[in-house]
Amino acid sequence: MHAFALSIILSLALLVVANPFGWWMPTTFQSIAAGAVAFILAVFAGMVYRDGAKDERELVLRAEAARIGYLAGIAVLGAAVVVPLLTNDEVSRWALGALVAMIIARLLARHRAE
């Protein structure tokens, strides 16, 4: 399975779980099943699936993709922390935890590489 197809399938599964437009009214079982499928796909995409690089160019492209993904995650989680502060809402502890985890993981990875 190609990474692009996997990302499309995962995005669709997360869209079904989020149900942002209220298109369907799932039962409790359907919600749990959709969440479980999305979780399994996310774990597979993030930890199990490996797209092997065959030469140096692909290694550089993979490093650039990782950097862009990290920056996108920091931007989204940063917005998830800042926007509630600007609107006097409560900041999500999960967003704060994920933001801190990303930063600490990045720092530890850089420290290990040096």
pTM, whole model, 2 decimals? Answer: 0.66
Residue from 75, 95, 74 nearest 84 by CA: 95
| Comparison of pLDDT for 110 and 46, the residue scoring more | 110
Those residues whose C-beta lies under 8 Å from the C-beta of residue 44, and which sit 6 or more positions away, are 6
What pLDDT digit, counting tens, does each position of 87-105 carry? Answer: 988 988 998 999 999 999 9
- The length of the chain, given as a count of residues: 114
Quote the pLDDT of residue 68: 93
Between CA 113 and CA 52, with CA 4 as vertex, the angle to 5 degrees is 40
pLDDT in tens, 62-71: 889 889 989 9
